[in-house]
Chains A and B, each alone.
Chain A
């Protein structure tokens, strides 16, 4: 492997986030790239955070020489984050902040669950990968390797990944990715809405009506208890954002889709910050808490917002 700090960064290079794609084939390909990445880190006394599926964790633990691993390699529990990709960036912020505060240079390995994600989740995972460049542009230097198994990841996801990783590990060498494109993210259209029965128009003073509409739909589809309560907090936040920032009103549609309940809001506002809701709020800050809470409470959050076309926020909760 070619260490990037000698190949790409001079000794005086400014600290930067190095976001690197690793397209591999099968388990042996994964191990080859990931183990060498970790061993390089251990050799230079760097700490490594590994966020991969449980099966890959087992493989890596077996493959790594145990000396130094326990001290310098941490396997983070991505399962605890749930399925929503919108929770990954704040989690990486927390993990990196902790390692940086320990005074050690940091590397990470992150493989998203492409094989088990729904089409909607895959769309948000792709967006998450794009957002990483923006999120960590001004952060302390760290290096994130994103393995993609070309035998299981769909072609569109891989194509999107090639566009948003400035670096790549290919043919055993770390280097620049020639297909990287520093351009705006191209969202896919949301999947067609299910039959909502009716559309609720809401405005000031109607938060209780919004919750009543969602509760009625949730009851029909069997969502209840704490999950319903959390969804009610989330819909309150989104509707309140419409009223406060989205022109004072909005519309709500709800429907069931298999084992999912979906609530879709639309208003005339525009969310200009692509990272809205993806950074942990501090107790003293003004506002900026609603979308954060929504991301933490819902299984999937899809936001499409453009000047002149308004904002659509689609919330999904698994029924069980």
Chain B
């Protein structure tokens, strides 16, 4: 079972992890990235860097490593992020066939996303990448340059990864991530501060799922805005529904007090 966590460094990153690494300064990137890539080489992982030919790549002793620079591939413009999901899937399968322990990915997101990427697009793409990462022998670190991306995009990105590395002040209040093929997990606190990111994540998932199952074991608190977000998101897509599983007694009580236990509401709380 995947559990949301924050890490101080990239050292503990393991197979199945999908880390949002918010880099406070460009100088921090080099050492941390080098360490992450070197660990992979020692452990028998296939290394893939999606980004620029950074010093970390040039100095990393990874003879079988792969460098893909989206800017170079597309002549200076950002990638269609679907390509990242496809590339990771393809290289994970190839690494398995080649006998590597796992595929170890470092992705420089400001090199991948177009400059005008929206929070909704980030949610959509990262959640698809997360479903892939959770189900394959891969680990993916998505490096987000804090000064380079809009705060709303950073907040969205952090909330749709199960793992976070970076300054504690930038930790997301909640995480939503893949639990199994047809099931997602939400943990932390969903309140008015994070409701926009939560809405984008839930809406993105509902586009592809008739029934969105959300496991809530790790959900500490959800306020009225969070609950309204769920009910509204499901109601906005006729035929879709949300099922909340294993919510704590306080969440359950608030859900009922707000009248969402009405069968007409296409979001349902089950044991």
Given contacts A283-B262, A283-B265, contact A233 B223 (CB under 8 A): yes
Chain B residues with CB under 8 A of A226 = 249-250
Q: Which of A208, A244, A281, A293 contacts B189 (CB 8 A)?
A: A208
Cβ-closest chain B residue relative to A204: B193
Annotate A283-300 by CB proximity to B: 1 below 8 A, 0 otherwise: 110000110110011000
A123 to chain B, nearest CB (A): 24
B253 to chain A, nearest CB (A): 7
Chain A residues with CB under 8 A of B68 = none
Annotate B231-269 by CB proximity to A: 1 below 8 A, 0 otherwise: 100010000000000001110011001111010110000
A86 to chain B, nearest CB (A): 13
Chain B residues with CB under 8 A of A243 = 192
Given contacts A205-B193, A230-B253, contact A283 B224 (CB under 8 A): no
A282 lies within 8 A of chain B by Cβ: yes
Q: Which of B192, B224, B250 contacts A207 (CB 8 A)?
A: B192
Annotate A143-159 by CB proximity to B: 1 below 8 A, 0 otherwise: 00000000000000000
Q: Which of B192, B231, B262 contacts A236 (CB 8 A)?
A: B192
> Contact between B259 and A240 (Cβ–Cβ < 8 Å)?
no
Q: Which of A204, A211, A284, A293 contacts B224 (CB 8 A)?
A: A293
B6 lies within 8 A of chain A by Cβ: no
Cβ-closest chain B residue relative to A288: B224
Chain B residues with CB under 8 A of A46 = none
Chain A residues with CB under 8 A of B223 = 233, 236-237, 240, 290, 293
| Assembly CA distance A118 to B68 (angstroms) | 70
| Assembly CA distance A205 to B250 (angstroms) | 23
| Assembly CA distance A9 to B265 (angstroms) | 43
Given contacts A229-B221, A233-B223, contact A289 B173 (CB under 8 A): no
> Contact between A244 and B250 (Cβ–Cβ < 8 Å)?
no
Size category of the binding interface on chain B: 20 to 34
A204 to chain B, nearest CB (A): 8
Main secondary structure on chain A at its contact with chain B?
A: helix
> Contact between B231 and A233 (Cβ–Cβ < 8 Å)?
no
> Contact between A233 and B259 (Cβ–Cβ < 8 Å)?
no
A280 lies within 8 A of chain B by Cβ: yes
Cβ-closest chain A residue relative to B225: A240
> Contact between B259 and A236 (Cβ–Cβ < 8 Å)?
no
Chain A residues with CB under 8 A of B231 = 283
Which of A208, A232, A281, A283: most chain B Cβ within 10 A?
A283
Cβ-closest chain A residue relative to B260: A283
B38 lies within 8 A of chain A by Cβ: no
| Assembly CA distance A293 to B262 (angstroms) | 17
> Contact between B259 and A283 (Cβ–Cβ < 8 Å)?
yes
| Assembly CA distance A205 to B192 (angstroms) | 9
| Assembly CA distance A284 to B260 (angstroms) | 9
> Contact between A208 and B193 (Cβ–Cβ < 8 Å)?
yes
Cβ-closest chain B residue relative to A284: B235
A289 to chain B, nearest CB (A): 4
Q: A residues near B, CB below 8 A?
A: 204-208, 211, 226, 229-230, 232-233, 236-237, 240, 243-244, 280-284, 289-290, 292-293, 296-297
